[in-house]
Every structure is written in structure tokens, then in C-alpha cells.
Amino acid sequence: MNKLLKNAIWVLIAILGASAIGGIALNRGENINALWFIAAALCVYAIAYRFYATWIATTVLMVDESRATPAERLDNGRDFIPTNKWIVFGHHFAAIAGPGPLVGPTLAAQFGYLPGTLWILFGAVLGGCVQDMVTLFLSTRRNAKSLGQMARDELGPLGGTAALIGTFAIMIILIAVLGLVVVNAMKHSPWATFTVSATIPIAMIVGVYMRYIRPGQILEGSLIGVVLLLLSVAGGRVIDENEILRKAFDHEGLTLAWWVMAYGFAAAILPVWLLLAPRDYLSTYMKIGTITLLAVAIIMLQPDVKMPAITQFIDGTGPIFGGKLFPFVFITIACGAISGFHALIASGTTPKLLSNERDIRMIGYGGMLLESFVAIMAMIAATVLDPGIFFAINSSAGVVGADAAEAVAKISSWGYPVTVEQMQNLARQMGEATLFARTGGAPSLAVGMASIFGSAFGEGLLALWYHFAIMFEAIFILTTLDAGTRVGRFMLQDMLGNVWPKMGETSWTPSVVLTSALVVSSWGYFLYIGVIDPNGGVNILWPLFGIANQMLAAIALCVATGILVKSDKLKQAWITGLPLVGLIVITTTAAWQKIASDDIRIGFFSAANDLTDKLATGLLPPAKAAIAPQLIFNLHLDAWLTVFFISILWLIVFDMLRVCIRYLSGKSVLPLTESAHSTSRLVEDWVRD
Amino acid sequence: MIAKLKAFWRIVRRLSGDDAYEQYLKHYAHYHQTDAGHECHPPLSKADFFRQWQDEKWNGIKRCC
């Protein structure tokens, strides 16, 4: 009877989920309520978690709860600590969820709400969650080794090197594009610029407090920081309304870009306790708090989604970025559906805390489900805006024209009516001078979030909510930026250390300064080009980031598939093999189009050639002609970078296939490096307090 | 209710690392006093422990996109 009831409940969840997906997929009317998205997501997640994840954990991976984990065996009270599963879940989620799942869905909303939503749901349950869970499992069975080490030990030196180079490259592109998002959010906005810059001294105050005033009192320090952050959001209004102070914080994109670079450099060489660690505390609280608030607000308010299910831009003519629905929706939304970067956290970091293998399903699979849910909320926040307003905020001047009247005429002609007055009104409500051409996703997400928060918790505070949302996005973008620059510096020092051992000493000042400067100038270059690009830069950098991130996911899936085959699980290797094939097809198609397409909005080479021709015939206005040589060089560079990414991808795929074929035909391969079984001695109630 | 609030507070402290020093002392008491080889050094002070803990925590890729 009990079992029957349980089955009946699951059948009901399945029916509800199917109807919700059917509802959002088939709706062609005016509006659709956001609750349908939430219902569809929760049902899909519940079913996938209960059945697919359980099946993978028990039948494919065969997690063994009697087996001691590295956290237990190597317990040192510091980094290896057997920890309660909810705590590990919290750490894991805080580590994987960055700004990616917020920006990607916002940009992909140009195709309509449907393609992105479906990819976020099914990409996550079939791809991203599986990748995270399997990587977590494999690393747990290998003393918490990193992805790069596992690639080297299980596939061979080629795989290890590819993983290392891939990680470094993706870091550079990621920081550049995130830097661009922040710059675009602060451009000519004294309020946002003040609030975002205030996060730096606030983090330092918190850092000094935790280190010297009250050592180790993390919650006290964080509380002070959060209060100061909220004050800085309100204080921005005072700055904005003061004629003189206003000017001090009103800057061009390029000026801000130089500041972001200077900041990145400073953050990479300053001690972690002063800036990086306290900033991370603040951004984690903000992230968890705001996302919870957003979920509550969406459920309370039940806003209508106004974007159509599918727009005409699936044909590749979209104003935010060029390219058809396939493959570009899959490239644009990486984080939130499948993100290779997570494999770096799931290997190395999280396994050091895991107290029992049976928690792998909840932490690996469940953690990614929650990130996918964040992406769904970002999609809702982007699509509750009037489509006209959404496109006006996100289309660059290079596409719709710099003049407001010209821009609204063009956007209205696509069938998404919007007026100059409407935009001015909105900008005034949000406390901004203008909201036209604020590309990068952050401003439109902030407008969406502010309108949701405003309707749920008080309309009068729209401007405060808007700048709160901008601060919330900026604070963890900057955290990713400085953490990433620092990691890049360590990787570079490690690589250079092979040539000149002195360079490998992470505390030798000349090496620190040199490698930090190299890393900052690498991403700074892409940031600079992105800022001067009249088309906004995001349209170039974001697809490049997507391709790089998917390449890293493919590396992780190759390692996983290779190990499954070597563990005599050929019949079940499709769980990672299938998403891998999908990613190879998506990434290769996207890369091919970025390289070879004749459309100047997609192909790098054709855009470079077009610009060269126009420059030669003198068709360009003087301002554009001055920067054209740089843009042309950059387009060539981007094209070759794409070639490089895709070559790495195929190299490692062939390496994995080589290992699998050798194994299956009985030839010798590198042995499995799984550590020997030892029985767990952890007493339940001791660790699970 | 109070028990639940206390449990919640424990989770918050553990997640944020607020109780890391207490955990370290517990670990120290558990392993170091029974083991003759480890008695040579007394446990670190809170400030020293926190320094090492924070520096170690930030060594490597800790944040994602």
C-alpha cells in the first residue's frame, strides 16, 4: 500500500511536470505565468534526481557507503575534514555558482524563452549534473585528485596537458568577459560605479577585522560587511544626486576597464586575507540571500513572462549575438546546463570534505540541479520584461544605432514595440541616465530583478533594488575576477617553474609581479578590445567563453568515459558518452561557424575581411577607421583561438578513444589509479552532527 | 523550536568557517594526545590557526563561473 502511494505520487509529479513543460512549450498566446517554469523545473529535477541519479549512483558508479573517503583516511583537521553533507553541499554550491548562470540565460533570451529553458532543464539533468557527480565520484576514489591529474594518470600525458592549457585559456576568456559585463554595468552610472567601488574598501575593512581585530570571528566580520554593503547601495543615491561627486564616478567604459585591470593586478598580488577572502564571504552571503529572495519573490508575485516562446532571431539575425538557434543557444548557456569549470571544483576541492560516498548523488547531482534552477530564475527575470525593453537594453549601438529614436524605431520594426518615453521613464525609475545599449546582460537582469522585487516588496524602491541587483552581480563577478587572476598566476608560475625553478616560487616577489602582470594583460587585452568594439564586445567574447567552457566539459567527460570503459562498464559508459557526443557536435559546429561562416556577424575571418575591405575603400567613419586595425587583428586572434580550442577538444577525444580501443582489444593501458578499499570507521553521529 | 534554531546556527557557523578553530581543537584533542609522536607542539593559537587556515583555503581553484 505504502509503495503504491509512493508510486502514485511519482506518477503525479511526472504528469504535472509533463503538463508544465507542455504548457510552456505550446503556449503561443500573449503571456504565460512564471510559475509554470518553476513547476516544470521542480518536477524535472525531482524525477531526474530520484530515478536517473539514483540509478547512476547505485548501478553505474556503485557508491559504497562502507568505504572510507579521502576526508576520513587523510583527515588532517584542515583541508581534509569529514564534514556533514549539508555543509559540503553548501560549500560545493557556493563554489560552483557564479555569475555564469545569470548572464547566459539573459543573453539567450533573444531566441525567446523556450529554447534556453529546455536546454537549461535537460542539459542539466542529462549532462551537467552527470558530469559533476561522476567527476566527484572519480576524484573521491582517487584521493581527491584534480581533473588534470586524473587526465594524466588515466589517459596519458596528452590529456593532462590539454586539461591544464584548457583551464588556463578558459580562465583568461572568462575573466575578460565578466570584466566587460561589470564595465558595461558601471558605464556612465555614478551610482553603480560608487557602489561597486565601495565593495573594495568594505572587503578590506572586513579582512582587517577578521585577521587582526577579532581573529577568526568570521560571522561578526561578515555581518559588518553586509551592513556596509547595503549602506553603499543607499549611499550611491547621495553620490548620484550631488553634482560634484557625481562627476567623480561618471566614467567612460575604457577608463573603467583600466580600473578593473588595475584592480585585478592589485588583487592578485595583495595577500588573500586582505581582499580575496573577505570579498568572497560577502559575495557568498549576497549570492545565497539574493537568489533565495528572488525565488520567494517569483513565487509570491507570480509574474507573467512577456517574451514570446520563440522569436524570429532563431534564424541567426539576433541583435545580441549573431548565430542560429543551433548551435548557439547551447554555447550561450553553458553554466546552468553544463559547465566544464565545475569539474575543477568537483575534483580536488569538494572530495576533501566528503564523509561518505552515498552523499555523492546529493552533492554532485543535487548541487548542479540547484545551479540550473538559478539559471531558470535568471531566464524568468529576463523574460518578464517587455521584449521591446529587453532588446533596447541589450542591443548595442552598433546594431540598432546610437540615437534613441532610431533604436526604438528599429526594435519596434522587429515586432517588439517600445518608445523613447518608456525607456526614459524606466531609466528614471531605476536611477540611471539611460538604459539604451547597456549590453552584457547585467543591467537587463537587474531591471528584471528590480521589477520583480519592486512589485513584491514595494514599488517606491525600484532604484534601490536596481542598484542592489547590480552590486550583487558585480560583487561576485569581481570575486571570480580576482580569484581567477590569482589562479592564473599560480598556474603560470607553475609552468614557468619548469623552465626556471626560481619562477615557480609562489612568494618570490619578481615572479609574483611578472606572472600577475602577464595574466592581467592577457585578459586585459580582450577586455580592452571588448570595450572599444562598437558592437559591444559581448557578442564576440561570450561565444568564445561558451566554446572554451564546453571544451573543458568535454575534457571532463572524456576522462569519465575513459575510466568507465577501463572499469569494464562499457555498457553504461553512455551516461557520460552521450553528453560528450552532444558537446562535441555543438562545440565543433559552433567553432566551425565562428571560423568559416560568411556572415560577418558570425564568422571571425569574414568579419575581419569585411572590415579590411571597408577600411581600404574608405567607407568607415573616422572614429571607426582609427580602431579598425586593432579590431581586425583581434578578429584574427579570436579565430585562431577558436581553432586552438577545437584542436585541444579533438586531441583529447582521440586520446580517450585510443585508450578505450586499446583496452577493449586487450592491449595494455595505464592502470586504474583508484585507491584501495578501506572500511569506514566513522561513527554516524560523530560526523553527522 | 529552539533546538532547530540552534541547529541552524551551527550549520551557519560551520558553513562560514566561524567554528573552524573549535573544529581544529577537537581534531587536535582527538588525534594528538593519544599519539606520542605528536605531543611535541601545543595547538596553535586562534590567530595563528586562522592565518594558516585562510591561506590554505585560497590555494587553488576555489571559485567557478
Q: Give the pLDDT score at A689.
A: 43
Q: In the predicted model, is pLDDT for residue A271 greater than 90?
A: no
The boundaries of the domain holding residue A153 are: 2-188+251-664
Residues of B in Cβ contact (< 8 Å) with A219: 12-13, 16, 18
What pLDDT score was predicted for residue B11?
86
Element (H, E) at A387: helix A387-394
Q: Indicate whether A193 belongs to any domain.
A: no
A210–B23 C-beta distance less than 8 A: no
Please name which of B57, B64, B63, B58 lies closest in space to residue B20, comparing C-alpha atoms: B57
Q: CA-to-CA distance for A565 and A580, rounded, in angstroms?
A: 14
**Chain centre to alpha carbon of residue A473:** 12
Q: Is B56 close to A78, i.e. CB distance below 8 A?
A: yes
Residue A458 banded pLDDT, cuts 50, 70, 90:
confident
pLDDT at position B29 over 90: no
Digit-coded pLDDT (tens) for A27-49: 877 789 999 999 999 999 999 99
Check if A8 contacts B (Cβ < 8 Å): no
Q: How confident is the model at residue A79 (pLDDT cuts 50, 70, 90)?
A: confident
Asked if the model's pLDDT at residue A673 lies above 90, the reply is yes
Q: Of the ranges A120-124, A454-458, A482-486, which one carries the lowest mean pLDDT score?
A: A454-458
| Cα of A392 to nearest chain B Cα, Å | 26
Closest CA to A590 of A646, A533, A649, A526: A646
Kindly report, residue by residue over A137-158, the tens digit of the pLDDT.
Answer: 999 999 999 999 999 999 999 8
> Smallest CA–CA separation between A19 and chain B, in Å?
33
Q: Residue B51: list chain A partners with CB under 8 A.
A: 211, 215, 273
Cross-strand bridge partners of residue A83: A354
Q: Does B63 touch chain A (CB under 8 A)?
A: yes
Contact B31 A96 (CB under 8 A): no
Q: Is B40 on the interface with A (CB under 8 A)?
A: no
**Cα Dmax for chain A:** 81
B24 → chain A, closest CA residue: A77
Euclidean distance between CA atoms A398 and A321, whole angstroms: 12
A86-102 residue pLDDT tens? 889 999 998 998 888 99
The span from the CA of A297 to the CA of A452, in Å, is 7
Q: What percent of chain B is helix, strand and coil (3-state, nearest 5)? A: 65, 0, 35
- Whether the CB of A561 is below 8 Å from some CB of chain B: the reply is no
Q: In this predicted structure, which of A187-196, A343-352, A380-389, B54-63 has the lowest mean pLDDT?
A: B54-63
Q: What is the bridge-based pairing of β-strands A304-305 and A32-33?
A: antiparallel
Give first-to-last CA distance, chain B, whole Å: 37
Residue A688's pLDDT is what? 42
The DSSP symbol for A401 reads: -
The answer to whether B16 contacts A78, with C-beta atoms less than 8 Å apart, is no
Contacts A174 to B, Cβ<8 Å: 65
Mean of pLDDT values over A470-481: 89
Q: What angle do CA A143, A569, A662 make, to 5 degrees?
A: 90
Number of domains in chain A: 1
Q: Where are the beta strands (DSSP E) in A401-448?
A: none
Decide: A327 and A586 in contact? Cβ < 8 Å: yes
pLDDT for the residue B50: 87
DSSP string of A645-661, one letter each residue: HHHHHHHHHHHHHHHHH
Which CATH number goes with the domain that contains A630? 1.20.1740.10
DSSP A53: I
Give the ipTM of the model, two decimals please.
0.86
What totals of helices (H) and strands (E) does chain B contain, helices first? Answer: 3, 0
Closest CA to A582 of A337, A371, A365, A373: A337
Report the C-alpha gap between A105 and A343 in whole angstroms. Answer: 21
Q: Which three cell numbers stand for residue A256?
A: 573603467
Q: Residue A439 CB: number of other CB atoms within 10 A?
A: 30
Report yes or no on A217 lying in a domain.
no
**Residues in contact with B59: Cβ distance below 8 Å, sequence separation at least 6, in sequence order:** A490
Residue B39 has pLDDT above 60, yes or no: no
Q: Is residue A72 part of a domain?
A: yes
Domain ranges of chain B: 15-55
pLDDT of residue A608: 96
User: How much is the average pLDDT of B22-43?
Assistant: 72
3-state secondary structure of A32: strand
In a domain, A242, yes or no: no
Name the average pLDDT for chain A: 92
Average pLDDT over residues A651-655: 94
* Pairwise CA distance, residues A288 & A663, whole Å: 45
Q: Which residue of B has its CA nearest to A479?
A: B63
Extended strands (E) in B1-65: none
Could you report how far apart the first and last alpha carbons of chain A are, in Å?
34
pLDDT, residue A260, reads: 96
Predicted local distance difference test score (pLDDT) of residue A683: 59
Place of cell 512549450: A25
Residues linked to residue A305 through DSSP beta bridges, in sequence order: A32
Considering only residues A498 and A246, tell me which one the structure prediction assigns the higher pLDDT: A246
Judge: B17–A218 Cβ closer than 8 Å, yes or no: yes
Q: Tens of pLDDT along A61-71?
A: 999 999 999 99
**Residue predicted with more confidence, A456 or A555:** A555
In this structure, of A348-362, A507-521, A659-673, B25-39, the range with the lowest mean pLDDT score is B25-39
Q: Is A560 helix (H, G, I), strand (E, B) or coil?
A: helix
pLDDT band at B37 (very low <50, low <70, confident <90, very high): low
Interval A569-593 mean pLDDT: 97
CA distances from A354 to A68, A73, A266, A350, A366 (A): 10, 11, 34, 7, 14
The reply to whether residue B64 touches residue A100, judged by beta carbons under 8 angstroms, is: yes
CA distance A348 to chain B (A): 9
Q: Which residues of B touch A349 (CB under 8 A)?
A: 60-62
Chain A residues in contact with B65 by the CB 8 A cut-off are 98-100, 174, 178, 334-335, 339, 341, 480, 549
Which residue, among A136, A487, A519, A549, would best test binding to B if mutated, counting the most B CBs under 10 Å from its CB?
A487
Does the beta-carbon distance from B61 to A277 stay under 8 Å? no
- What mean pLDDT is predicted for residues B30-36? 64
Q: Name the residue facing B64 among A77, A215, A342 (closest C-beta).
A: A342
Average pLDDT over residues A13-23: 95
Q: How far apart are CA B20 and CA B15, in angstroms?
A: 9
Q: CB of A139 within 8 Å of any CB in chain B?
A: no
**Interface check A210 vs B, CB under 8 A:** yes
pLDDT, residue B36, reads: 54
Answer whether residue B61 shows pLDDT above 80: no
pLDDT in tens, A169-192: 888 998 999 999 999 999 999 999
Report the candidate in A182, A276, A274, A282 with the shortest Cα–Cα distance to residue A231.
Answer: A282
CB B40 within 8 A of CB A456: no
How sure is the predictor about B52, in pLDDT bands with cuts at 50, 70 and 90?
confident
